[in-house]
Structure 1
Amino acid sequence: MQSTPWFGKHFNRDRYYLLLTFLHFNNNDNLPAADHPDFKLHKIQPVITDLIKKFLRFYRSHKNILIDESMVGYKGKTPHLRQYIPNKHHARFGIKLWCLCDSTSSYTSSLKSLKGAADSGDRQAEGMTYTLVLRMMEVAGLFHRGHHLGLDNYFTSPALLYDLYGTHVSATGTVRRNRKGLPKSVTSAKLDNKHVAERKRGNLLCVSYKDGSKQPVLLSTQAKAGFCLSTNSKGKEKRLPTIIKL
């Protein structure tokens, strides 16, 4: 069912390779210097730009959205883009993407390729990840629409959540303990199991929660302090911090 006999009937392998030789999506006369951040994706950038426009045109995201990584399996001759990530079982070799997705449907609204070390050239005072999140949200036109953004600890920081809140975007995510601006009374707290340490400054809530051997730290401009009851798939109620239930 997945065979493609049409191609073999209409041209042979050599003809196919010849077509690939002359297939271009961008003008090579405008190719940036090899050390420029845009060099690595220049040849296919028009395709990516057009895809993102189509993604945004045909779908409007629900309230809850997220930014996370995705790996596109690929073993072609692009060492400047291809990466090896051993814990990605479906595609250990490939091109790493950051995707802005709808939490309800998993629909991708925008994406950005991780182009390697050169990508760090556009860092600003708050760091590359801070800039990346704001750019993706801006490209997708999701500011000032009341969305709630989920993040992992690669992105989450107090500065980012404060600035997102200023654009009417609330956010929640795990955060690394060494991020600037976190209260030491939370990050260094030694807790008994199922206990929390919480601090709030303005609209930003910081929570550390002891769950067995793990004690993650989380930030949110959406959650309230305290606990709530959550029902698992077996119908059993469990007491969890409100920020976890989000």
Structure 2
Amino acid sequence: MLHSIQEWTIQHAEQTEDVHWFMDLPELMAFISIVILRGVTRIPSLRDCWSANLGNPQIIGTMPRNRFQDIMQHLRFDDRSTRSDRAKTDKFAAISSVWGSFVTNCITCYNPGLHITVDEQLFPSKTRCCFLQYIASKPDKFGIKFWVACDLKSKYICNVLPYLGKDPNRPSGERLSENVVMRLMEPFLDKGRNVTTDNFFTSLSLAQKLLRRKTTILGTVNKIRREIPQSARYKDRNEFTTQVFSTSAATLTAYAAKRKKTVYILSSMHSVVQTDNTTKRKPNTVTLYNTTKCGVDVMDQMVREYMVRRGTRRWPVAVFYNMIDMAALNAHVLYQACTGTQERLPGGACKRVG
């Protein structure tokens, strides 16, 4: 992966600046280390990173500022001469090769636990690209959206896909949500794992597909889904009451967290739904969902703590920043797994249902 970045960066520099321009692999690694250090030190201005008063001695001693800017100017992730042809079928062509290597490494380097969480991540960016997203509910409204599968316990990023808009390769009639979950979970199916999703992804047809691959699902269901029986749709329920509906593939729990607020949980791992002895009488499906749903949200909080993102006009560089953030978190998880140390990175809790 680094060799590819080195090759295409040198190619771009030779074509646009100097035929004798060169960057060896250690220098590229030094460049990436400065990118990471800038995220850790949180010095907003590039100039200040090398200043006598505010500068970081490690950054100053690693590389001159002008050389860092020179590499950043020429940083490329693909063969520019063939990009236009590849872009006809691949909107991610400018970085897809490097991105694919990164994702392959994520999949092969770690064996996740029994619970995997699938959710979306919006990486903040306002660069011009055809798949930039606007999501009003996010803290940063604009960005590049990624679908992420994350190990619940360690928050290791197991698999990740960029959202590039309409996919011509998606089978006709298949929901986007089902396609995303099946693609993210493909390397981890047939192992008896469970995947936790929110109401965008969860459906009975997805539960059936996963069960055929020895994988269960636990997730909230949107009340407008066809899976919700008509008898479960009425709003005025008594507070803390539970209604259960079952099929051969899954169990649907309708729990009234408030008088006019009903939470629907679909589970293919629970054949029996039980309520606890507390005042709220929560079903075990709701309790387990609250425990297992936070993988991606907490992961996103952790990578934002030391985010390396800086202003850029090139969307491949924005994706590269997100890749470094994810790689740093995964490296931390692997370091802990290999050494047995327990060092917690910052990361908060997420909102519970019910």
Q: Distance in 2 between matches of 1:79 and 1:88?
A: 19
Q: Distance in 2 between matches of 1:229 and 1:210?
A: 14
Overall identity of the aligned pairs, in %: 24
Contact 1:224 1:242 in 2 (8 A): no
Partner of 1:122: 170
Partner of 1:221: 268
Tell me the CA shift for residue 80 of structure 1.
2.1
Would the alpha carbon gap of residues 238 and 192 (structure 1) be closer, same or farther in structure 2, given more than 3 Å must change? closer
Contact 2:252 2:267 in 1 (8 A): yes
Q: Distance in 2 between matches of 1:120 and 1:214?
A: 38
Higher RCO, 1 vs 2 (CA within 8 Å, ≥6 residues apart): 2
Tell me the CA shift for residue 238 of structure 1.
5.0
Tell me the CA shift for residue 240 of structure 1.
1.0
Is residue 2:90 matched to residue 1:49? no
Q: 1:102 aligned to 144, 147, 151, which one?
A: 151
Residues paired across the two proteins, number: 231
- Mapping of residues 1-246 of structure 1, within 5 Å: 2=41, 3=56, 4-6=59-61, 10=64, 12=66, 19-20=71-72, 22-28=74-80, 29=82, 31-32=84-85, 36=89, 38-39=90-91, 41-75=92-126, 77-89=127-139, 91-116=140-165, 118-119=166-167, 122-138=170-186, 141-188=187-234, 190-212=236-258, 213-229=260-276, 238-246=280-288
Contact 1:174 1:216 in 2 (8 A): yes
Name the larger-Rg structure: 2
Q: Distance in 2 between matches of 1:214 and 1:159?
A: 25
TM-score, with normalisation over the residues of structure 2? Answer: 0.58
Tell me the CA shift for residue 72 of structure 1.
1.7
Tell me the CA shift for residue 225 of structure 1.
3.5
Q: Distance in 1 between matches of 2:98 and 2:224?
A: 38
Contact 1:198 1:225 in 2 (8 A): no
Tell me the CA shift for residue 99 of structure 1.
0.5
Of residues 182-191 and 107-116 in structure 1, the stretch that sits farther from structure 2 once superposed is 182-191
Cα RMSD between the aligned structures?
2.6
Would the alpha carbon gap of residues 102 and 192 (structure 1) be closer, same or farther in structure 2, given more than 3 Å must change? same
Q: Secondary structure at the match of 1:146?
A: coil
Counterpart AA for 2:125: Y
| Unmatched runs of 5 consecutive residues or more in structure 2 | 1-39, 42-55, 289-354
Counterpart AA for 2:64: H
Tell me the CA shift for residue 74 of structure 1.
2.4
Contact 2:250 2:271 in 1 (8 A): no
Contact 2:239 2:257 in 1 (8 A): yes
Contact 2:207 2:249 in 1 (8 A): no
TM-score, with normalisation over the residues of structure 1? Answer: 0.82
| Unmatched runs of 5 consecutive residues or more in structure 1 | 231-235
Q: Distance in 1 between matches of 2:134 and 2:95?
A: 21
Would the alpha carbon gap of residues 120 and 184 (structure 1) be closer, same or farther in structure 2, given more than 3 Å must change? farther
Larger relative strand fraction: 1
Tell me the CA shift for residue 21 of structure 1.
5.5
Contact 2:87 2:93 in 1 (8 A): no
Larger relative helix fraction: 2
Would the alpha carbon gap of residues 237 and 198 (structure 1) be closer, same or farther in structure 2, given more than 3 Å must change? closer
Q: Secondary structure at the match of 1:69?
A: strand
Q: Distance in 2 between matches of 1:214 and 1:78?
A: 40
